[in-house]
Amino acid sequence: MSELCCECRAPCSWSPDTGDAAARLTMQREAMLVLNAVNHMEGQRELESGGAENRRLERVEAKLDLALYLLARGLAAGAPATPRPIRLEASKVEWEDASPPAMGAAVVLEVVLSDSLPLPVRLPGEASAARDGVARMRFSGFIPELEDALYQFIFRRHRQAIRSRGN
C-alpha cells in the first residue's frame, strides 16, 4: 500500500544543504510556520454559519489572510521557479528535474505549496536515486511540529483530490 500523498504543480528548486545544524533547525521551524498558516488559510472554516459574531470573525480572518498574502508577495525574492509536477509524502518528495541532485547528497528543496500564501517552504533531506527525469529526496530528522504540519497539509490536499474526483 502506498503512503498518503498529494500531487500538484508547484514552483520548486533544490540546493545543497550547508550542514549547519542551527540553520537546519531554523529552516524547519520556518517551514512549520508557513505550513501551519497555509493549513489554516486553505482549511475549511469550522465556524457555524450565521450570527453577527461569526461574520465579524470571518472578516477579521479574511483581512489577516490578505495581510499575510501581501507580506509573502513582498518577501518573495527574484523570479519564482518554474512550476513542475511534485508528489509529496510525509517521508519523501519527488519532482521533475532535468538536473537532479546526486544520490546521497544532502539537499534542501524549496517549494511554494500554496497560491494563497506564496512563501517557499524549505525542506531538508537526502537525495535518492533519480529515475526518468524525476528527482527524489527522503526527509529525515524533522522536528515533530514540522512532521505534523506537513502531514496535515498532505492529508487535506489528498482529501481535496478525492473530493474533486467524485464530482
| Of residues 51 and 26, more confidently modeled | 26
Q: What's the CA angle centered on 52, arms 48 and 57, to 5 degrees?
A: 70
d(CA 41, CA 34): 10
- Mean pLDDT, all residues of the chain: 86
Mean pLDDT of 15-37: 92
CA 92 to chain CA centroid, Å, is 12
Q: How far is CA 131 from each of CA 17, 89, 96, 102, rounded to the nearest angstrom?
A: 21, 18, 10, 11
Q: How confident is the model at residue 128 (pLDDT cuts 50, 70, 90)?
A: very high
Residue 7: pLDDT band (50, 70, 90) is: very high
3-state SS, residue 115: coil
Q: Which domains, from first to last, does the chain contain?
A: 5-166 (2.40.10.220)
**Average pLDDT of the segment spanning 62-86:** 75
Query: Minimum mean pLDDT among 19-23, 67-71, 152-156: which range?
Result: 67-71
pLDDT digits (tens, 9 = 90+) for 81-93: 789 999 999 999 9
CA distances (Å), origin 12, targets 45, 59, 108: 29, 32, 10
Rounded to 5 degrees, what are φ and ψ at 165? -70, -30
The pLDDT value given to residue 137: 98
Residue 155 neighbours by CB under 8 Å, 6+ apart: 4
| pTM as predicted | 0.81
